[in-house]
Structure 1
Amino acid sequence: MGEIFSDHYTHADIDRLFAYADAPEANPGGNKVQKTVDWLRLTNKQSLSPLDVLGLLLENILENPGWDPSSGDNWMRVEEPEWSINLKDQQERIKKVLSRSGLSYSVGGNIGTANATPTASLDELVSQRGLSAVEVEMKRALKQVEDDPNAAAQYAGNVLEATFKAYLSKKKIAYNENGDTLNDLWRLTRDDLGINPKDLETKDLKKIASGLGSVVDGTMYLRNKRSGAHGRTEAEHTASAIRPRHARLVIHSAHTLAAYVLECLDDS
């Protein structure tokens, strides 16, 4: 990051960026590379949420689309400019380092341990389609995994709900905006996709289709019965608490199903 920040930013830019990310206020000084490295170390030691700071520091670089040949005067240019090639190389370097540390970046400046392949795939599909409602729930789920696993499970259910509604809306299939449960929305989506278990002939496909229904049913149960959405006594809250690994299981399962549903829109 020190090298990359030195290429991208002036000293003043780096100062403003660390301030924007709520890093410790003490500016360590030095050249751009050393200042970035030392400020990151201070952040890791002093910040209550160093990964939140890191995500905001990386947001501008990792979400920069690079050269767009269709915009402005670029349509006459055949070769991608060097700055854009360098940017993409730097983006890949950052993502590889995060991956080696068991971390990953998701849209909106979020760094988390839950962003595995299903989430990355869903993130890409959501970005391509501009599905802001799904994106909001994804961010909420990923940010809560470690600090509030129950809330993360709740938001994973919200991801499925937003996905099903997006699918049904685009296919012009009527549903009750406020009255339909997650299972109701899934049944409408499932039937349109042609994966209702009772309509499938092979035993293997029936099991898989039934399993998808179980993911929806289990996610809805966690969201409604074990999430922070309902008031509880301290004893009830402790008894219903789930661990981060359970929240990750819910998120991965929900995101895999959501990605499948959105991919099916391409085939329709």
Structure 2
Amino acid sequence: MSKIPLNLIAVLSEILPDNESHVTLDNLFLYAEVNTEIPDVSKPAKIQQVLMNVNKNHPEPLKVLGKILEKYLEGGILYPNNKARFDDHIEKIKQILADNSFLYIKGGTISGSLTTPTKSLEGIIKKLEIPAIDQEFIRALVHVDSSPREAVSAASNILESICKVYISENNLNMPNKKDLKNLFDVVRKALKINRDNVEDEDLLRIISGIISVVDGIASLRTHTSSAHGAGVRQYNLKPRHARLAIHSAHTIGLYILESWNEGKINS
């Protein structure tokens, strides 16, 4: 179970008292579904005690944190009492989240356990400004714990979307069957992600692994995800399985986009 970082509790104990009365602070805790008693003490002490108790007793501390941060990271404070101090605290909050591999998702959700490829892919997706890819990226992270099947479907859709964008932008022939396997076949051949193009034995194993992983993600989506129903065989899909699919999809998606970018530079 991921907990609210102690240094983040310290920052919140500074920024919240600047912009909340005791009444609005108590209401914020109620909105965040805090399941602990709210003490009648000073605002900084109240924040520290409540959030420490959330870490100790709440089944999902990050869910509480997300609802608290929603007001502050989505423009809920229109006129902060001290804007310079407020902006400084917001940057500290974002940095602490990043340092702990947490991602704030619009709507008050905190996604944890981010890998480096996921964080790198997030940055590239934002630069691309393609809503379809961004939506699937967020959907996978939001549902990984609550609905692994939904997350697996989104992980596959991320790769499908990236492949479709690459094919369209490079004027390649779109396959008749627009599933992940056929889309990736077009992209990998264009980017020379092929066994025949690699002489180094170690790289050959990696390339073969990439092709196998894409096939695995596509098959897992077909057999277990919400996109195709449960079918005859029931998979006992867990969040860790969904994370494996998501992290694999993000790694391969990042490799495709970096290969594409390198080709632009060298062309």
Q: Do they fold alike, i.e. is TM over 0.5? A: yes
Structure 2 CA distance for aligned equivalents of residues 7 and 19 of structure 1: 16
2:251 to 228, 240, 256: 256
1:246 to 238, 241, 244: 241
- Report if aligned partners of 1:152, 1:247 keep a CA contact under 8 Å in 2: yes
- Report if aligned partners of 2:149, 2:225 keep a CA contact under 8 Å in 1: yes
The alpha carbon displacement at 1:241 in A equals 1.6
Structure 2 CA distance for aligned equivalents of residues 173 and 33 of structure 1: 59
The alpha carbon displacement at 1:246 in A equals 2.0
The alpha carbon displacement at 1:216 in A equals 0.7
Structure 1 CA distance for aligned equivalents of residues 129 and 28 of structure 2: 27
Q: Name the structure 2 match of 1:91.
A: 94
Q: How does 1:205-244 map to 2 (within 5 A)?
A: 205-232=203-230, 236-237=233-234, 240-244=235-239
TM-score, normalised by the number of residues in structure 1: 0.72
Q: Name the structure 1 match of 2:182.
A: 184
Whether 1:51 aligns to 2:43 is no
Q: Name the structure 2 match of 1:76.
A: none
Structure 2 CA distance for aligned equivalents of residues 134 and 39 of structure 1: 38
SS of 1:121's equivalent?
Answer: helix
SS of 2:110's equivalent?
Answer: strand
CA RMSD of aligned residues (A): 3.4
Residue 204 and residue 93 in structure 1: after superposition, are their counterparts in 2 closer, same or farther (change >3 A)? closer
TM-score, normalised by the number of residues in structure 2: 0.73
Q: Name the structure 1 match of 2:79.
A: none
Q: Name the structure 2 match of 1:69.
A: none
- Report if aligned partners of 2:103, 2:111 keep a CA contact under 8 Å in 1: yes
Deviations 1:13-42 (A, max 9, x none): 756755665657987665442343455467
Q: How many residues align?
A: 243
Residue 18 and residue 264 in structure 1: after superposition, are their counterparts in 2 closer, same or farther (change >3 A)? farther
Deviations 1:90-113 (A, max 9, x none): 4323444xx2xxx61244343233
Q: How does 1:69-218 map to 2 (within 5 A)?
A: 87-96=90-99, 99=100, 104-108=102-106, 109-176=108-175, 179-218=177-216
The alpha carbon displacement at 1:56 in A equals 3.7
The one-letter amino acid paired with 2:259 is C
Structure 2 CA distance for aligned equivalents of residues 147 and 253 of structure 1: 19
Whether 1:10 aligns to 2:20 is yes
Structure 1 CA distance for aligned equivalents of residues 238 and 87 of structure 2: 42
Structure 2 CA distance for aligned equivalents of residues 254 and 227 of structure 1: 15
The alpha carbon displacement at 1:186 in A equals 0.5
